[in-house]
Amino acid sequence: MTQRRLLVTSALPYANGHIHIGHLVEYLQTDIWVRFQKLRGHDCRYMCADDTHGTAIMIRARQEGRSEAELIAQMQAAHEQDFADFQIQFDNYGSTHSPENKSLCAEIWQAIRQAGLVKEKDVEQLFDAEVGAFLADRFVRGTCPKCGAADQPGDNCSVCGHHYSPVELVDPKSTLSGTTPEIRTAKHLFIELEQLHDFLSQWTQSGQHLQPEIANYLQGHFLGEPLRDWDISRPAPYFGFEIPDSQGNYWYVWFDAPIGYMASTKQWCDRQGENFDDWWKSADCEIHHFIGKDITYFHTLFWPGMLKTADYSLPTKIHVHGFLTVDGEKMSKSKGTFVNARTYLNHLDPSYLRYFYASKLTARVDDLDLSLEEFVTKVNSDLVGKVVNLASRSAKFVAQTGLSAEYPDDGGLFEQAAAAGDEIADAYEACDYNRAMRQIMALADRANRYVEENRPWELRKDPQQAERLQAVCSVTLNLFRQLAIYLAPVLPRLAAQTGELLGTPLTHWKQSQQPLVGTPVAKFKHLLRRVEAKDVQAMINESKAPGEAASATASPTPLEAEPLAEECTFDDFQKVDLRVARIIAAEQVPDARKLLKLQLSLGGDVTRQVFAGIKAAYQPEDLVGRLVVCAANLAPRKMKFGVSEGMVVASGPGGKEIFLLSPDEGAQPGQRVH
Ligand SMILES: [Zn+2]
């Protein structure tokens, strides 16, 4: 395989707000692709930066009484922490407010001037005299000039759909001060994109750089008629870079934002001693941009036009994705589905979302739905039930012996899964992660069948079978490791844990083609916990009411709320017979406010029916199959709904705050808790 050189970017997050789970679709999609390329041995670099300029930042900084520099520095630190905690790994993370960006903007601007693409026009714009700023469209509201609907935004009417310029609004009001803005005329600079029409038609329609639906959209909406001039400047006051040959005018934020991709690369090159032109002016380097569909226009028309004029490499491919919906609807603050990255991290493991998005992402521009119920089921059934399970059911049995010295006969399983590697790689390459995940899970199913058929937990009871046990576990762990390699772009932490468990870090895709033999197996550590529906609910609750979590700190600690009980003797303690039990059935009790009806197995055919007051904290379907601790010798109690033959042990004050105790992996139903 020849080594490719790839430069990859995600759209730059705006410094006006925090990263949320909608943004993460793109950063996770890109990070997975980059990690995949690196794992394949390619020289792939991931560049990003904060997008910092524009009226919105200027206004916000004023409202908060601080400098723009302070605002964007603080926001950038928060963005970088969120990305790091989601295991999104950039080679460089810069800022559009950097000296590198300023000088690249000037260079590209000069080339555009020299090509004769710039012209000046007078523009009428609304000016808020009280705030002292020209108003971007979204800072104006007024009455629609066409249908007369009141309180409409500055660019188009939400009632009749009419597009207009903010100066056409009847009775406009500034949303910043509430005053009526005045119309002021100012000189703006425009780029005549129409001069590049032939080039852009050819480039967008070549079938090589864009998804077909994007190429068709551009042809149908823009390229069928003359391209409009692009208004590239804003008069002072504006937070951005002043245009060197046009005093008092600033580049519009959308001019300097994509140049930020280059500026970030420049920072990385300077730090690494790399040559910038090898990345942005070399035919040997592929350039891949990942973007959302809302910014297609900027990236597929303006941006290639700018690069072409300034004699830089054109994008090899622009990968456009759709929007995130939650439970089939737009993210909503009132429903608590507008979830910030940090809020998610307060409750859930980032691996879950990395895997869930991967399982949904395809090469198409479709929207992606995060169904919260499916999220829980899919992660638990695929990652915990099919993947991690393989290691937890075998690793501890070979901790003493290590893996077999020769790879045992597995009926061709390892070889088949190795042969599937090329197809899985093709799916990753095409950004069809959904297909890759389905192929990987099909392999996981086969591996699990092998474990079920060979039952290592039974083999280990018979010393005569020691060799066979080692063979079965060696196969299982090798199949597990193969899956961990295929999943490494999506689940980097699992890959690292697998490397530690088996003594060799997972660093290259080709490690999936060769089984490990004769190596020691480290002590098994827990790899991934199940998703609990109540944690998802807690995340939604926190998203509904930010600040509520903070006020909870004033409430008493658990120990203060429920002080220690009186001392008891060991014999007193021994009277309560606590047993490990498996929940084999769980159902709602109609009419009961707090109760769920549970069937517990104590092993063999010994069962207990228990009514537990955990209805607000657990869904019955999430409970079936899990182990709990049960007080098994309590006198049966007749309740309104039936007889309760014991208790499941839990902590917490009640309501949604109830936490069942779980024995560690390996405990058997019926074992006594001492
Ligand atoms: Zn209207």
pLDDT of residue 664: 85
d(CA 36, CA 427): 11
**Ligand 1 centroid to 224 CA: how many Å?**
27
d(CA 535, CA 617): 10
Residues 611/601, Cβ–Cβ less than 8 Å: no
Q: Give Cα 635 to chain centroid, integer Å.
A: 50
pLDDT of residue 592: 82
Neighbours of ion ligand 1 (CB under 5 A): 144, 146-147, 149, 157, 159-160, 162
Residues 299/222, Cβ–Cβ less than 8 Å: no
**Ligand 1 centroid to 156 CA: how many Å?**
8
**Ligand 1 centroid to 170 CA: how many Å?**
11
E strands, 35-74, where?
Answer: 43-50
**Ligand 1 centroid to 448 CA: how many Å?**
60
pLDDT of residue 393: 95
**Ligand 1 centroid to 143 CA: how many Å?**
8
**Ligand 1 centroid to 150 CA: how many Å?**
8
Per-residue pLDDT tens over the stretch 630-657: 999 888 888 888 888 999 999 988 888 8
**Ligand 1 centroid to 229 CA: how many Å?**
25
Answer whether the bond into residue 237 is a cis peptide, omega within 30°.
yes
Nearest to 190 by CA among 247, 248, 239, 123: 123
**Ligand 1 centroid to 178 CA: how many Å?**
21
**Ligand 1 centroid to 182 CA: how many Å?**
22
pLDDT of residue 552: 40
**Ligand 1 centroid to 123 CA: how many Å?**
23
Per-residue pLDDT tens over the stretch 385-419: 999 999 999 999 999 999 999 999 999 999 999 99
**Ligand 1 centroid to 183 CA: how many Å?**
21
**Ligand 1 centroid to 139 CA: how many Å?**
18
d(CA 481, CA 466): 22
Regions in the chain scoring below 70 on pLDDT = 1, 545-557, 560
**Ligand 1 centroid to 159 CA: how many Å?**
5
pLDDT of residue 551: 40
pLDDT of residue 545: 63
